């Protein structure tokens, strides 16, 4: 049984990274290149929260705590929130909100295209993350739609890898890739196990 304040605590924890960046911006503590720190930091937290969201189901299974499923929706919405801030920071701080320049950059640089694609795919998930949408779509179709999260995770990882490839920095993407492999591998194993003859 989870504490009644657990959701409130999680909500506050999810806002802490943003609070730090806001404070850092006003206190001039974002380093020599504040724009890059902000853009990359928001992107990093998008991936971290996405990975945490994907970890909810295996963790609640391992520790036999079904109530943890209550956190998935909030975590998923925070993924979209940080992804949107990441995109806004890029468009504003790097491109001055010049739409034509942003579109040229998306077409020219594959890692930008991957990130933008992941954000586009997040939109229908965020838009249907409420009970009325589940009823309107029907549970089977809703569940099928929300399996897009696996494609989003892979595309997000590709965005991260290609972005770091410019500086030949693959150590951190390798860690993210290993964690995602475990999370998706666990789901595949469970699916195969359910289909195996008893």
What one-character-per-residue DSSP string does 21-87 give? Answer: HHHHHHTT-S-S-HHHHHHHHHHHHHHHHHHHHHHHHHHHHHTT-GGGGGGHHHHHHHHHHHHHHHH
Measured CA to CA, the distance from residue 56 to residue 60 in angstroms comes to 6
Q: What pLDDT is recorded for position 4? A: 79
Q: What pLDDT is recorded for position 170? A: 85
pLDDT of 153 higher than 70: yes
pLDDT of 196 higher than 70: no
Tell me the whole-structure pTM to 2 decimals.
0.93
Q: Quote the domain boundaries for residue 24.
A: 6-195
Would you say residue 1 lies in a domain?
Answer: no
What is the tally of structural domains in the chain? 1
At 162, the pLDDT band (50, 70, 90 cuts) reads very high
Would you say residue 74 lies in a domain?
Answer: yes
Cβ–Cβ contacts within 10 Å for residue 190, how many? 13
Average pLDDT for 95-118: 94
């Amino acid at each position: 049984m989870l504490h009644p304040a657990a959701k409130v605590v999680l909500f506050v924890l999810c806002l802490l990274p943003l609070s730090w960046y806001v404070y850092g911006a006003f206190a001039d503590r974002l380093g020599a290149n504040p724009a890059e720190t902000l853009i990359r930091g928001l992107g990093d937290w998008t991936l971290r929260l996405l990975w945490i969201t994907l970890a909810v189901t295996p963790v609640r299974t391992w520790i036999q705590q079904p109530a943890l499923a209550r956190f998935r929706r909030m975590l998923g919405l925070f993924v979209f929130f940080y992804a949107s801030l990441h995109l806004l920071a890029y468009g504003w701080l790097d491109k001055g909100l010049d739409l034509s320049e942003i579109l040229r950059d998306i077409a020219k640089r594959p890692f930008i295209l991957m990130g933008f694609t992941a954000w586009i795919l997040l939109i229908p998930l965020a838009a249907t993350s409420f009970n009325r949408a589940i009823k309107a779509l029907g549970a089977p179709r809703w569940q099928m739609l929300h399996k897009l999260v696996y494609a989003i995770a892979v595309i997000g990882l590709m965005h991260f890898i290609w972005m770091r490839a410019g500086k030949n920095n693959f150590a951190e993407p390798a860690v993210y890739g290993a964690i995602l492999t475990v999370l998706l591998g666990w789901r595949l194993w469970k699916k195969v196990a359910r289909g195996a003859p008893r």
